[in-house]
A and B are shown apart, each in its own frame.
Chain A
């Protein structure tokens, strides 16, 4: 299970403030704590800065790389921003993200192909927010096609079927989970990834919904996730789910996480 750590995102107020005031210590502490908590990639996002997203993101990338040895997940919808950040990155990053929108595909896929990086592909096109499993699968198949045509191995594609709030669509979790299962069956070698916070919008005890959703998604084959690894209840649910589906033989990781006090 590949973990992309989500905390360094400017939509969080504390992060936005740290990016505005160049608070190196704060950003580096966020990076280190997520690295220690088991992150594989550190997501870096400055998307709420309309006019100077690039400068803030560049600064954050440099600062995070000073603090941790992990690769980054460069998080921007803007191909120009991703292209400009690329030369600063020390370890092969993950790109977050492409959609089927032509500008994003054409701007980002060549970079991904040339540098052999991983990329997240959202099941979203210019005119479709895929809400049903069928729509998600249809867009996933188009992503697979475009990525292969660009000469990128499927092993580097992480398909995000997207998840919409359960509060406003009673079928939304089922649609995403069903799509994960079918994507993993139909496109051999591809990965699926998902964020967890959207699902619980408008509901009480959101974290309970988030981690239960994670467990059901893992049971259908989800093999990467965007989350906060420092949340021990969430991390514990992740470890337990992997043990239950036999992706942690003899529960060795689960027991290890217990010894480290990581099971919530």
Chain B
């Protein structure tokens, strides 16, 4: 790995928001392949951050600032990508189900999925099954990510998955949130469960096969 890519990776990990765009510009001037800047620099850094967060080595705001740093870097390099390279790794719709407006967990997952190179469409909170179906039909995502904080919203999660399956929509469903468990995910017929944002990224990669 080139020195500059290593520095880009370090800058994201250590949250150097004011440095990152200069470093990415330097890498571009050194004629480093934009795809490598993203994959080996920016995304690789977010994988490290995700692991640090899972291991409780860093706190939520630190993860947020790393993600912001990553995004700034991405903005600089993205215009240089060839058309086929700028294709996202996959499209993921995220939201909270009807009856639950708690979106902090969902927002963190969204950030980490974006950091991993996925295209994420955030439908927001308190989503009816009808709205979910409508958007899945319109957008055609690879994955639907549903989040709930309230136990009272869990039956709605179950209903959403049932209706999607009944409609025959070919979308993978991953679920998460404080009261949600692996066995609940299995019971309602979801394709996977992520205990935190890092697991969500790993799961999304598995489900899409990237």
Pairwise interchain contact B61-A203, C-beta atoms closer than 8 A: yes
Instruction: Assess whether B104 is in contact with A48, with CB atoms less than 8 Å apart.
Output: no
Cβ–Cβ < 8 Å partners of A129 in chain B = 101, 103, 125
* Chain B residue contacts of A208, Cβ below 8 A: none
Q: Is there an interface contact between A201 and B104, defined as CB atoms closer than 8 Å?
A: yes
Interface size on B, residues (CB 8 A): 17
> In the complex, which of the residues B108, B125, B179 contacts A168, with contact meaning CB atoms closer than 8 Å?
B108
Does residue A261 face the partner (Cβ distance < 8 Å to B)?
no
The CA-CA distance from A88 to B68 in the complex, in Å, is 52
Residues A168 and B151 in contact, CB atoms below 8 Å apart: no
Q: Does B60 contact A50, Cβ atoms closer than 8 Å?
A: no
Classify chain A's interface size: 10 to 19
What residues of A have a CB within 8 angstroms of the CB of B154 in the complex? 50
A167 to B107, CA, bound (A): 12
The residues in A between 118 and 135 inclusive whose CB is less than 8 angstroms from any CB of B are 124, 126-127, 129
- A48 close to B60 (CB less than 8 A): no
Closest A residue by C-beta to B64: A168
What B residues does A158 contact at CB under 8 A? Answer: none
Tell me, yes or no, whether B155 is within 8 Å of chain A by CB: yes
Q: Once the chains bind, are A47 and B152 in contact (CB under 8 Å)? A: yes
Query: Are the CB atoms of B104 and A165 closer together than 8 Å?
Result: yes
> Once the chains bind, are B107 and A168 in contact (CB under 8 Å)?
yes
Shortest CB-to-CB span from A221 to chain B, Å, is: 27
A41 at the interface (CB under 8 A from B): no
The A interface is mostly helix, strand or loop, or mixed, namely loop
B-side contacts of A127, CB under 8 Å: 126
Nearest chain B residue, comparing its CB with the CB of A99: B101
Instruction: For the complex, give the distance between the alpha carbons of A50 and B151 in Å.
Output: 7
Please give, as numbers and ranges, the residues of chain A lying within 8 Å of B101 by CB-CB distance: 124, 129
Residue of B nearest to A165 (CB): B104
A50 near B152: Cβ-Cβ < 8 Å: yes
Q: Is A167's CB under 8 angstroms from B152's CB?
A: no
Contacts of A126 in B (CB 8 A): 126
In the complex, which residues of chain A have a beta carbon less than 8 angstroms from the beta carbon of B125?
Answer: 129
Q: How far is the CA of A68 from the CA of B10 in the complex (A)?
A: 58
Q: A164, B60: Cβ atoms under 8 Å?
A: no
Q: Cβ of A202: which chain B residues have Cβ within 8 Å of it?
A: 59-61
Beta-carbon contacts of A126-159 to B below 8 Å, as 1s and 0s? 1101000000000000000000000000000000
Please name all residues of chain A whose beta carbon is closer than 8 Å to the beta carbon of B59 when the two chains form the complex: 167, 202-204
Which residue of A is nearest B101, CB measured? Answer: A129
Mark contacts of A192-236 with chain B using CB atoms, 8 A cut-off: 1 yes-contact digit, 0 otherwise. Answer: 000000000111100000000000000000000000000000000
Q: Which residues of B contact A203 (CB under 8 A)?
A: 59-61
Question: Which residues of chain B are within 8 angstroms of A50 by Cβ–Cβ distance?
Answer: 151-152, 154-155
Chain A residue, CB-CB nearest to B154: A50
Which partner residue on chain A sits nearest B149 by CB separation? A11
Chain A residues whose C-beta falls within 8 Å of the C-beta of B152 in the assembled complex = 47-48, 50, 77
List which A25-53 residues lie within 8 A (CB) of chain B: 47-48, 50
Among B114-129, those with CB < 8 Å from A are: 125-126
* Complexed CA–CA distance, A238 and B59 (Å): 27
Chain A residues in 8 Å Cβ range of B103: 129
Instruction: Tell me which residues across on chain B come within 8 A of A77, comparing CB atoms.
Output: 152
With a 10 A CB-CB cut-off, give which of A126, A166, A168 has the most chain B CB atoms.
A168
Q: Provide 7 A-B residue pairs closer than 8 Å at the C-beta atoms, listed in order of the A residue.
A: A50-B154, A50-B155, A129-B103, A168-B61, A168-B107, A201-B60, A202-B60
Q: A48-B179, A164-B104, A168-B107 are in contact. List 19 more A-B contacts (CB 8 A).
A: A47-B152, A48-B151, A48-B152, A50-B151, A50-B152, A50-B155, A126-B126, A127-B126, A129-B103, A167-B60, A167-B64, A168-B60, A168-B61, A168-B104, A201-B60, A202-B59, A202-B60, A203-B61, A204-B59
